[in-house]
Amino acid sequence: MFNHNESLEQARERNINDALLEDIGTGDWTAMLVPESGLVHATLIVRQEAVLCGSAWFEGCFKKLDHSAIIAWKYAEGDLMKADTTVCEITAKPRALLSAERPAINFLQTLSWTASITRQHVKAIEGASPNSHGCAVLDTRKTIPGLRQAQKYAVTVGGGKNQRLALWHGILIKENHIAAAGGISAAMKAAQALNSGVDIQVEVENMAELQEALSAGAKSILIDNFSLDQMREAVAFTKGAALLEASGGVSLDQLKAIAATGVDRISIGKLTKDVIAVDFSLRVQ
Q: Which of 178, 177, 147, 184 is nearest to 165 (CA)?
A: 147
Q: Distance between CA atoms of 262 and 127, rounded to whole angstroms? A: 12
Q: Distance between CA atoms of 264 and 248, rounded to whole angstroms? A: 15
Q: Distance between CA atoms of 19 and 25, rounded to whole angstroms? A: 10
Q: Which of 262, 7, 224 is nearest to 135 (CA)?
A: 262
> Stretch 177-197: mean pLDDT, rounded?
95
Q: Supply the DSSP symbol for 224.
A: E
Terminal Cα distance for the chain, rounded: 46
> Stretch 35-41: mean pLDDT, rounded?
93
Give the pLDDT score at 1: 67
pTM for the full predicted model: 0.95
Q: Distance between CA atoms of 141 and 137, rounded to whole angstroms? A: 14
Q: Distance between CA atoms of 102 and 98, rounded to whole angstroms? A: 8
Task: For 212-253, write each residue's pLDDT tens digit.
Answer: 999 999 999 999 999 999 999 999 999 999 999 999 989 999
Per-domain residue ranges of the chain:
8-122+275-284, 123-273
> Stretch 70-94: mean pLDDT, rounded?
98
Q: Distance between CA atoms of 78 and 46, rounded to whole angstroms? A: 14
Q: Distance between CA atoms of 195 and 217, rounded to whole angstroms? A: 14
Give the pLDDT score at 2: 81
Q: What is the CATH number of domain 123-273?
A: 3.20.20.70
Question: Percentage of the chain surpassing pLDDT 90?
Answer: 96
The burial of 74, by beta-carbon neighbours within 10 Å (0-12 exposed, 13-18 middle, 19 or more buried), is given as middle
- Superfamily of domain 8-122+275-284 in CATH is Quinolinate phosphoribosyl transferase, N-terminal domain (3.90.1170.20)
Positions of E strands within the chain: 40-46, 50-51, 70-73, 80-81, 85-92, 136-138, 170-173, 199-204, 220-224, 243-247, 265-267, 280-284
CA 27 to chain centre: 32
Q: Is the pLDDT of residue 31 over 70?
A: yes
Task: For 113-151, write each residue's pLDDT tens digit.
Answer: 999 999 999 999 999 999 989 999 999 999 999 999 999
Task: For 3-20, write each residue's pLDDT tens digit.
Answer: 899 999 999 999 999 999
